[in-house]
Amino acid sequence: MAGSDIPVNGTPALGSSGAAIQGTSAPDTVKILIAGGFGVGKTTMVGSVSEIVPLRTEERLTCASLGIDDLQGLAGKTATTVALDFGRITIGRDLVLYLFGTPGQQRFWFMWNDLAIGALGAVVLLDVRRPESSFAAIDFFERRGIPFVVGVNGFHGQHPYTPEEIRESLALPEGTQVLLCDARERESSRDVLIALLDELIAASAKASAS
């Protein structure tokens, strides 16, 4: 992990965005999950957008996973997340997002409850070729009332469906944001996070108005 400025007990260390060192107030920090099914590009997204070298907990996929992990369409995949990914991105001068990528394989889903503690929102990433692999993730956040946006990772840069078609086919609640993206591209991943932030701000404004 690229080290010294990793938060301890949820508090950003001095200098994580520079604000504390300059004597101004510390930045706000927000915990975001990057979730979704097996091999949809979660680790790739955290890595593309993080401004620190991300922490990864990946293990090699070996023949022991044959018959357990469905690698259809994932010919180049050699490793899988067994605990979490961790990255960080600073938005503007006073907002730091801590990004936690979840493990995708069903046998590790028990960790999602712990990873979700304190999370304000989530990106549910899906592989446009296998959207069903992220159904459980959508269900997870819907049940807990955690705001989320859907990032559609067009593997090989292909987006055969419009956001509206995807929203309908997933029967997502009205207003759920669906964004076409490329998890390998920093700007594309950042745009998905900004859409989620807009969602969180709107949810917070709605809550204070009621």
Ligand X SMILES: Nc1nc2c(ncn2[C@@H]2O[C@H](COP(=O)(O)OP(=O)(O)OP(=O)(O)O)[C@@H](O)[C@H]2O)c(=O)[nH]1
> CB under 5 to 8 A by kind: which of ligand X, Mg ion, none does 77 bind?
ligand X
H or E stretch including 150?
A: strand 148-153
C-alpha pair distances (Å), 159 with each of 49, 83, 136, 191: 21, 30, 22, 16
Shortest distance, position 195 Cβ to ligand X, whole Å: 18
Candidates 47-55, 73-81, 142-150, 176-184; binding stretch for Mg ion (CB under 5 A): 73-81
Instruction: Name which of ligand X, Mg ion, none residue 87 binds, using a CB cut-off of 5 to 8 Å depending on partner kind.
Output: none
Rounded Cα distance, 133 and 71, in Å: 12
Are 78 and 94 in contact by the 8 Å Cβ rule? The answer is no
Tokens, residue 166 = 């995807």
Helix extents (H) in the chain: 42-49, 112-116, 135-144, 163-169, 186-209
The tokens describing 158, both together, are 């292909």
Q: Which does 153 bind (CB under 5 to 8 A by kind): Mg ion, ligand X, none?
A: ligand X
Per rule CB under 5 A, is residue 133 in the interface with Mg ion? no
Least separation in angstroms between residue 81's CB and ligand X is 3
Q: What is the contact surface with ligand X in residues (CB under 6 A)? A: 38-44, 74, 76-77, 80-81, 103-105, 153, 155-156, 182-184
- Residue 29 interacting entry, from Mg ion, ligand X, none, C-beta within 5 to 8 Å by type: none
Contacts of 108 (CB under 8 A, 6+ apart): 81, 82, 83
Whichever of 57 and 161 has its CB closer to Mg ion, that residue is: 57
Closer Cβ to ligand X, 17 or 48, answer by number: 48
Query: Applying CB under 5 A, which of residues 16, 29, 50, 81 lies at the interface with Mg ion?
Result: 81
Q: Which does 188 bind (CB under 5 to 8 A by kind): Mg ion, ligand X, none?
A: none
Residue 96 corresponds to which tokens in the numbers above?
Answer: 């730091």
